[in-house]
Chain A
Amino acid sequence: MINLEIPGRLRALAQQANEVAREVFRPISRKYDREEHAYPKELDMLAALMEGMEASGEMEGAGAAGVRRTGGGEEGVRNGSNMATVLGIIELCYGDVGLLLTMPRQGLGNSAIASVANEEQLQRFGGKWAAMAITEPEAGSDSAAIKTTAVLDGDEYVLNGEKIFVTSGSRADLIVVWATLDRSKGRAAIKSFVVPRETPGLILERVEHKLGIRASDTANFRLENCRIPKENLLGSPEIDTAKGFAGVMQTFDNTRPLVAGMAVGLARACIEETTRLLAEAGVRVDPTRPAYAQPAAAARLLELEADYEAARLLTIQAAWMADNAKPNSLQASMAKAKAGRTCVEVALGCVELAGGLGYSEESLLEKWARDAKILDIFEGTQQIQLLIIARQLLGKSSAELR
């Protein structure tokens, strides 16, 4: 039966994450925005606390638990781990996106490992912090154009290439590197390899200075004859051209709703703060009256809130579908596209409504507006999401609709 309210059990979990956002993230938000590249040591204790709660089943993580499709057996509708994870992320990003991104042991690499690793690898890599290295100077959204190579030499793979924009790259224990086994075989030859940080030949070149999410480090690496055991390849070493990219892309299908959730959380932070500031200025949104019969600021806020609501529901829909074993590639991209553009629109719009105060560093609104832009870029830009959506709707291949 159609119902779009969050069940009480998950609301309670979200409330816990909200307390973390308010009590831990917000107070140090500005500090680590100013001190870019300083390690937010406050997070170590928090990570331990959250892992403890996760282990006891009291709380779902920040997404790094991975999204394994366990499939049915159970009757009826499920509001399970996908939804719980998305709700947790929404709340934590209501606190601070950059701090969430640099939560120890909650990296995208952890998500990849949790999603596709075999039992032996799960054992070996458990409890470590794993970052994800996909992008290269000449391969961004076009991840099939990856040039980093992996060559089997005895019991080891030898990796060579360059990786940029590695979130948590300078802090993580492991880097999950995308590389091709055979550049002539296209996407099917692209595999992911777990590279421990201390491996010789994995050279940290620099840490970026960024527009926003400054609490989170973004590293660039060079791989020079970097040798790792062949058991560090995630998934199958076979180059299955029929299956193509599916293996590595599976991670993305699962993480798009999570990034959409980040955007939703940030947008809500902006809207709540702006609602408060406007109320102090004597402007309140009256939902019962037509927008045009209200002050322009109220009408604008209502408009922003409406798009936020659409983004939030699309995001939860994608998670709900994953929980209920419904294919959600289209809805995941819709959620990411809508949430990505909405959070930028909302954040910049809220700065405008708050005026000089919103633009100054006295308010977090200006920081959130800088943080927001990355959410319409990483894990598939707006344009990539629209391509995915359009190809599905129009029944077009990537050769026809490029």
Chain B
Amino acid sequence: MSAAARGRELGLRAMRALASSPTLDRLGARKAAERAIYRASKGGFQAVAGAGRTFAAARKLRSPARQPVAGKRSMFDLTPSAEQEMLVEAIGDFAGSAMRPAAGQADAELRTPPELLAQGVELGLFALAIPEELGGVMEERSAVTAALAYEALGRGDMGIALAILAPAAVATALSLWGDAEQQSRYLEPFAGEQPPAGALALLEDAPLFDPLAPTTRARRQGADWLLDGEKALVPRAAEGELFVVGAQTPSGSPGLFIIEGGSGGLSAQAQPAMGLRAAATARLRLEEVRVPASALLAEGDPAAYRECVQRARIAWCALSVGVAQAVRDYVIPYVKERVAFGEPIANRQAVAFAVADIAVELEGMRLATWRAASRADAGSEFAREAALARALCARHGMRIGAEGVQLLGGHGYVKEHPVERWYRDLRAAGLLEGALLV
């Protein structure tokens, strides 16, 4: 039997097993699973669907609009501002009443319902990144505010949060590093009612992937850039209207390129993963994608690219802190109610200490994340702090996900409870690059 025939047979066998599974029916997930399998397998790379949108500057900025940064503070302080508290409360309501109930289905269907995406926009999540003169809402640009907002979203669901926030990362990149022309054309639409779908694509499929050494390449052709390569696990890539893509430039360091969804040579293929499934992660392929010289952000400044990588890591930390908090809040009532050997399992040290450990490590993750974000806001170096926060969130976040399942035992392993999803989602923290920005 040829390799291809063997592959086909294996695929068919797997499909047969899945098709006769009563579990799918019991969960009412058959349709969703069929759709997901169809979408994920209907073949190869498809042209990016967001190709219809065109970008034109409504007005010309003379100089790039930058939000003022918070600047250095004198006191050590862990108190959010009133503005931050209001935002977190509003997002918290949304996370509890809209995201959490939709999370299971979104995970199964590999997509986030458009209503939820729209509600996310209404909450002002994009506007966080946009300077006031371009229609934004916040007086100051603040990584801390973003981190607090992402943490609150993470409590709802990591996959849906990523789906909502993916375009915000593009807006943030334009806000931080775009010049007047780039901002006039691309940033202003994000303040409108129908912000573009988009994503920041840094990650590639490779073991030991280092975002500072991507294999995706940009080369000059006349005044234009030609880009070739493949980006991995790009949220909602199939519907993307505007991407920011990391690629190696001839200067020897990577740069960030603005690429419209309609560009020739750009295609996407569904790439479902262990978790974050509501974000419809996909491979983004670039085959001789031609963009003008003006597509390069920050004139290819290596410092801007590095900052982008680090801000993304802080954002992933913030999201994972929210998910870890969700685990903590879920297991506490569970272990108090669950009875074994005649008393609540919470009365056992083995269980109680596991809960205490979750709380301790979660608090450490949160403080380290806040510190990295607050240093970014103060204009201080934050590479080290971002790396430490990431190391904590990668290791302890993952462990908290695993303990969440463990504390529920067999019940944690089945989809009646969200802990198995959190287990899958929390593995993403400390592993993925890009896609989010604070």
Contact = CB atoms under 8 A, between A and B. Distances in A.
B383 interface: yes
Given A320-B78, A394-B335, 20 more contacts: A1-B70, A2-B144, A2-B148, A3-B75, A3-B76, A4-B367, A5-B371, A8-B74, A78-B75, A305-B391, A306-B368, A306-B392, A307-B364, A309-B388, A310-B363, A311-B364, A383-B349, A386-B352, A386-B353, A395-B336
Contacts of A6: 76
Contacts of B306: 288
Interface stretch (B34-42, B205-213, B228-236): B205-213
Contact of B356 (A303, A307, A386, A395): A386
A264 interface: no
Given A5-B76, A293-B210, A310-B367, A390 B353 contact: yes
Given A291-B391, A307-B392, A393-B356, A314 B363 contact: yes
Q: 9 shortest A-B CB distances, which residue pairs? A: A310-B364, A287-B387, A306-B391, A390-B352, A3-B73, A313-B367, A4-B371, A389-B356, A390-B356
Contacts of B144: 2
A71 B395 CA distance: 39
Given A390-B355, A394-B335, A310 B365 contact: yes
Nearest to B367: A313
Interface string B44-78: 00000000000000000000000000101111111
B386 interface: yes
Contacts of A310: 361, 363-365, 367-368, 392
28 contacts: A1-B70, A2-B144, A3-B73, A3-B75, A3-B77, A4-B78, A7-B76, A287-B383, A289-B210, A289-B212, A290-B208, A302-B391, A303-B391, A305-B391, A306-B387, A306-B388, A306-B389, A309-B364, A334-B359, A338-B364, A383-B353, A386-B356, A386-B357, A387-B353, A390-B356, A394-B352, A401-B346, A402-B349
Nearest to B365: A310
B194 interface: no
Interface of A is mostly: helix
Interface in A376-402: 383, 386-387, 389-391, 393-396, 400-402
A77 interface: yes
A220 B346 CA distance: 38
Interface string A298-330: 000011011101110110110010000000000
Contacts of A331: 363
Interface in B379-405: 380, 383-389, 391-392, 395
Interface string B368-382: 101101110010100
A83 B387 CA distance: 26
Contacts of B15: none
Nearest to B144: A2
A291 B395 CA distance: 12
Contacts of B20: none
Nearest to B386: A287
Contacts of A233: none
Contacts of A309: 364, 368, 371, 385, 388-389, 392
B215 interface: no
Interface string B266-298: 000000000000000000000000000000000
A2 B357 contact: no
B371 A313 contact: yes
B79 interface: yes
A288 B383 contact: yes
Name the interface size band of chain B. Answer: 35 or more
A347 interface: no
Contacts of B367: 4, 310, 313-314, 317
B360 A337 contact: yes
> Which of A3, A5, A307, A316 has the most chain B CB within a 10 Å cutoff?
A3
Nearest to A382: B353
B80 interface: yes
> Which of A8, A289, A302, A310 has the most chain B CB within a 10 Å cutoff?
A310
Nearest to B387: A287
A402 B350 CA distance: 11
A16 interface: no
A316 B370 CA distance: 14
A316 B76 CA distance: 9
Contacts of B389: 306, 309
A270 to B, nearest CB: 16
Given A79-B76, A316-B76, A401-B346, A393 B395 contact: no
B98 interface: no
B251 interface: no
Contacts of B332: 393-394
Contacts of A316: 76
Contacts of B392: 306-307, 309-310
Interface of B is mostly: helix
A137 to B, nearest CB: 24
B103 interface: no
Nearest to A313: B367
A288 B309 contact: yes
Nearest to A305: B388
Contacts of B346: 394, 396, 401
A288 B310 contact: yes
B55 to A, nearest CB: 32
Contact of A4 (B84, B374, B383): B374
Contacts of B359: 334, 389, 393
Given A306-B392, A334-B359, A337-B356, A7 B212 contact: no
B81 interface: yes
Contacts of B380: 5
B347 interface: yes
A346 B380 CA distance: 27
A391 B348 CA distance: 11
Nearest to A388: B356
A383 B144 CA distance: 34
A139 B76 CA distance: 39
A290 B209 contact: yes
B75 A77 contact: yes
Interface in A70-112: 77-79, 83
Contacts of B148: 2
A288 B387 contact: yes
Contacts of B335: 394
B391 A77 contact: no
A334 B383 contact: no
Contacts of B363: 310, 314, 317, 331, 334
Given A292-B208, A305-B388, A7 B74 contact: yes
Given A2-B370, A393-B355, A288 B360 contact: no
Interface string A253-283: 0000000000000000000000000000000
A394 B74 CA distance: 37
A382 to B, nearest CB: 9
Contacts of B75: 3, 7, 77-79
> Which of B80, B375, B387 has the most chain A CB within a 10 Å cutoff?
B387
A314 B209 CA distance: 32
Interface string A1-45: 111111110000000000000000000000000000000000000
Contacts of A307: 364, 392
> Which of B84, B370, B375, B388 has the most chain A CB within a 10 Å cutoff?
B388
A99 B435 CA distance: 50
Given A1-B81, A320-B76, A313 B364 contact: yes
Contact of A2 (B79, B355, B387): B79
Contacts of A8: 74
Nearest to A311: B364
